[in-house]
């Protein structure tokens, strides 16, 4: 009888020890998971890209004087704008093809095009901002109403390409202009070249892109 009692007590104690050991292991695993989760959060936070805000001035793109020097600027731009993606591509138009560099967060979020002359792939022709991530020195962004431009800069001039129906708002003594978008009801004219737009025709338009062109 005593022998049986000793065996029973030994069995109970053994189960208790195994149970405690199992709980201890579960706690260690739980603690390890918590630590790993914390490490993951910290790592993800550390790896989150820091996208600088791109700013266009009358004579600068961020810290770069414009027009850019006539040399291969791709390596310099790649280094400065990281982690943005900076790539060189070939653009097509009605005339000859031209070289351009685009700055983007990814393939679906293009921010800026830097277009070069079709006759000289190193000579800057224009800079075009196509995303509200960037803005100009007048605090104008893509998507802003035309009224924002006028509030910031005063009244400008209207440019109209009747063949492609592109509308521009520009200033005679400025390198920065704006392509507009919006509903347009043009006057009935047999010859499209005779169409003249007024402010009332475009007053509800918004900024489609911000354009820099060297007027000198």
Confidence (pLDDT) at 34: 54
Confidence (pLDDT) at 37: 53
Note the pLDDT tens digit of each residue in 87-117: 999 998 888 999 999 999 987 789 999 999 9
Domain boundary among 125, 147, 178: 125
Domain boundary among 76, 99, 125: 125
> How many domains, the chain?
3
- The verdict on residue 80 lying in a domain is yes
Confidence (pLDDT) at 61: 98
Confidence (pLDDT) at 215: 77
Confidence (pLDDT) at 113: 97
41, 57: one domain: no
60, 96: one domain: yes
- The verdict on residue 203 lying in a domain is yes
- Which residues contact residue 24 at a Cβ distance below 8 angstroms, ignoring those fewer than 6 apart? none
Confidence (pLDDT) at 8: 41
- The verdict on residue 133 lying in a domain is no
Residue 1's domain comprises 1-48
143, 213: one domain: yes
Residue 67 preceded by cis peptide, ω within 30: yes
Q: Which residues of the chain are modeled with pLDDT < 50? A: 1-23, 25-26, 28-29, 42, 44-45
What is the three-class DSSP state of 127? strand
**Nearest CA-CA partner of 125 in 192, 41, 211:** 211
Confidence (pLDDT) at 78: 97
Confidence (pLDDT) at 108: 78
CA distance 159 to 165: 10
């Amino acid at each position: 009888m005593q022998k049986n009692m000793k065996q029973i007590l030994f069995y109970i104690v053994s189960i208790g020890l195994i149970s405690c050991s199992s709980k201890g292991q579960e706690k260690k695993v739980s603690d390890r998971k918590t630590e790993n989760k914390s490490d993951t959060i910290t790592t993800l936070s550390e790896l989150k890209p820091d996208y600088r805000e791109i700013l266009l001035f009358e004579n600068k793109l961020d810290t770069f004087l414009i027009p850019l020097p006539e040399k291969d600027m791709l390596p310099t731009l790649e280094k400065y704008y990281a982690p943005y993606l900076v790539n060189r591509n070939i653009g097509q138009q009605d005339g000859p093809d031209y070289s351009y560099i685009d700055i983007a967060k990814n393939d679906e979020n293009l921010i800026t095009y830097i277009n070069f002359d079709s006759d000289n792939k190193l000579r800057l022709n224009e800079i075009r901002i196509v995303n509200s991530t960037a803005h100009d020195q007048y605090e104008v962004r893509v998507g802003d109403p035309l009224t924002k431009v006028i509030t910031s800069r005063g009244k400008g001039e209207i440019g109209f390409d009747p063949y492609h129906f592109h509308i521009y708002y520009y200033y005679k003594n400025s390198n920065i202009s704006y392509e507009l978008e919006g509903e347009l009801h043009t006057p009935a004219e047999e010859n499209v070249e005779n169409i003249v737009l007024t402010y009332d025709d475009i007053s509800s338009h918004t900024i489609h892109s911000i354009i820099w062109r060297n007027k000198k």
